[in-house]
Amino acid sequence: MAITITAAEVKRKAMITTSDYDSAISALIAELQPTLEFSISPEHLANTADENLQAVLKLGMLEIITGEFLEQLAREAGAAEQFSVAGLSIGERSRQGVDLIQQGATRLAPFLKSMLPMMSESGTSSNTKDAQTVFSIGEEVW
C-alpha cells in the first residue's frame, strides 16, 4: 500500500481518546484501504513525488475510513437511544459518519479510475468522415 493510515489517525479524526476500539479500527483499515487504493487511478497513486497529491488522497481515504468507523459505532447496542425532556433531545443519532464518507468520496472523486475516459470515448474506430462503418462479425474494432 502506497499510503499509510494508522489507527491513531482514525481515532484523532473521530475524536476518540481511549484505546477500546484500536483492534476494530485496525481491522477496518486493513479491510477498506486496499479497496480504496484499488479504485484510485494508478498514475495518481504512484505519483509519490507530488506530496500535495498524496496528502489529498490520504485525507480522502482517512475521511472515508473514519466515517465508516463512526457508522459502525452508531450501530452498536445503545448507541441510537435517545430521550427528550421539554424539547431537549439527548442521544439523537448524528450523521457525522455519513458526512465524513461523502466528504472523503468527493475529495477522491477526481482521482478515481472511473473518472478516466472509456476507450470508446477516447479513440475513433474510423477516420472516414461521413461514411458508414461496417465491420464483420469476426473483426475487432480496436
What is the model's pLDDT at position 28?
A: 96
Count the neighbouring beta carbons within 10 Å of the beta carbon of residue 5.
Answer: 22
Query: What is the mean pLDDT for each group of 10 consecutive residues in the chain (142 residues)?
Result: 89 93 96 95 93 96 96 74 63 76 94 72 55 58 52
Cell of 136: 464483420
Cell of 71: 457508522
Per-domain boundaries in the chain: 7-116
What is the model's pLDDT at position 95?
A: 72
